Amino acid sequence: MTGAMAKANLPPRPFGAVEIAGMHPRPLAARLRPFACRSWGLARVVAITALFLPGCGGDPLADATRPPASPTPPRQAALARPVPTATRPPPTPTPSRADIEADYPPPGTGALLAPRKGGKGLGELTVSNGTASDAIVKLSRDGEATAVVFVHAADETTVKGIAPGTYDIQFSLGIGYNPGTRRFVRNDGFQEFDEPTTYAEVRDARGTSYSVLRVTLNPVVGGNARTEAIAEDAFAAGW
């Protein structure tokens, strides 16, 4: 044989067989069958594993037939319980002026509420009450009340016969004069003029000159007298 390998005359081989030196030939179908079984077994294991994985060890049929869980309702915020409040009695209505004066009728303007003291003179004092309340006006000298008069609201009166001397003028405003207490049922306080008032009498050939004064209990434009609050005891002293 030159330049090529001579082919030996070999007997015919069955189709699908592989011949390896030193080994007996094995049909291809025989070799593939176990492989096919192993492949199916692997697929079955994988399929079963995939079937059991979602249940994590539970029963897949029981999980499939179990009804879905009811949703948990949202929790409602607890309502604040109202705090009980103390029951207060209704306010007492304020009596009207007519109601008060029906029980305590006021005296007339200019009425003397106490006897006159301190002698007689020629001096005069006009009191103008421009407030909405009645007034008790007291003229006193050396701590003694010489004249105490009543003046209605929006009215005026004149006290005559005042003897010479230095006087303090005090007054109280209110509604419903009570003669038993010498006070108003509804009292608006007690006031006194800051500066004392001096009364004088001068006689000459032409006659006698005397003091005539006028005071207002309400503020007025151009007024030159001031008042200050005083205690009830100070107003009650001397009468």
- Residues 6 or more apart whose CB falls under 8 angstroms from that of 38 comprise none
Could you tell me the pLDDT band of residue 204, with boundaries at 50, 70 and 90?
very high
pTM above 0.85, yes or no: no
Query: What is the pLDDT confidence band of residue 151, given thresholds at 50, 70 and 90?
Result: very high
pLDDT at 53: 45
Q: Are strands 123-129 and 212-216 parallel, antiparallel or unpaired?
A: parallel
Q: What is the pLDDT of residue 7?
A: 46
220 and 110, same structural domain?
Answer: yes
For 66-106, the pLDDT digits (tens) are 666 666 666 665 666 776 677 788 888 889 999 999 999 99
On the CB side of 127, CA atoms within 13 Å amount to 27
Query: Which pLDDT value is given to residue 171?
Result: 99
Whole-number Å distance between alpha carbons of 164 and 30:
160
**Is 120 within the bounds of a domain?**
yes
**What's the rounded Cα separation, in Å, for the pair 225 and 6?**
161
Domain interval for residue 157: 106-236
The CA angle 129-130-135, to the nearest 5 degrees, is 35
Percent of the chain with pLDDT over 70: 65
Same domain, 57 and 110: no
Same domain, 156 and 50: no
Does 31 share its domain with 136?
no
196 and 120 in a single domain? The answer is yes
Q: Is residue 91 part of a domain?
A: no
Q: Is 221 helix (H, G, I), strand (E, B) or coil?
A: coil
Q: Give the span between the Cα atoms of 140 and 168, in whole angstroms.
A: 5
Asked if residue 3 belongs to a domain, the reply is: no
Token pair 């004392």 in the structure block, residue: 196
State how many domains the chain has. Answer: 2
